[in-house]
Amino acid sequence: MVTDAREFRPLSILTTGKRSAMTENIAYIGLGSNLDSPAGSPNATLSAAISRLRVLGEVKAQSSIYVTEPVGYTQQPKFCNAAVALQTSLGPLELLRQLLVVEHEFGRDRGATRPKGPRTLDLDLLMFGDEVVNLPELTVPHPALAERRFVLKPLAEIAPNTIHPTLNKTIDALLQSLPDEDENRVSAVNIS
């Protein structure tokens, strides 16, 4: 059974960027889908993707699945979104690369899709313990995390008291500070 990650703290945070095989952190991953995949409907895709993530570590918590309106490019179907807390021994860049492999397994071709457009599966590395990563291929925490209700709502369900490492606010506080307007209106994010 999946447990609540609110009280979970990383076992070790190394500022050197080097980690031993025994170092484990909690990675928060956002999931989204609005097209059928080999696993089925978007809802079924998220459930199957969460099961697949168990190969990369232990799923410590998972949110409900939310139905959300598209942001940016709005001429597309609604999304199913969720979040998981994954305890993993992988480093952030290794984990990102594995998430891209999982996306591909579910039929996503990032090179052939429009940015913010329809997709079979989107896996975003939202946070990785309290680490801050700025690399050409990876920025953690996710740069748009604090601006998106469709990300914050499921994340707040599983980790409301987790502190954003650069904004120094809890996930719940970030969610509460969003304006109730446009794509961030409360009515745009509903439990499936």
Domain that holds residue 187: 25-191
Out of 4, 6, 97, 108, the active site residue is: 108
Measured CA to CA, the distance from residue 103 to residue 83 in angstroms comes to 15
Query: Is 121 within 8 Å of 108 (Cβ atoms)?
Result: yes
Output the pLDDT for position 4. Answer: 39
Which residue in 28, 21, 23 sits closest to 5, CA to CA? 28
Cis link prior to 136 (omega < 30° from 0)? no
Q: Is the dihedral of CA 102, 100, 128, 192 positive or negative?
A: negative
Give the pLDDT means over successive 10-residue stretches in the chain (192 positions): 35 36 84 96 97 97 95 90 97 96 92 84 96 95 95 97 97 95 84 84
Out of 52, 119, 149, 172, the active site residue is: 119
Tell me if residue 6 is catalytic: no
Determine, yes or no, domain membership for 176: yes
pTM for this model (two decimals): 0.86
Out of 114, 122, 182, 185, the active site residue is: 122
Whichever domain contains 112, its CATH number is 3.30.70.560
Determine, yes or no, domain membership for 144: yes
* DSSP three-state, residue 192: coil
Tell me if residue 130 is catalytic: no
Out of 6, 124, 172, 185, the active site residue is: 124
Tell me if residue 108 is catalytic: yes
Report residue 58: phi and psi, to 5°. Answer: -100, 125
Determine, yes or no, domain membership for 136: yes
- The total number of structural domains in the chain stands at 1
Output the pLDDT for position 14. Answer: 32
Tell me if residue 52 is catalytic: no
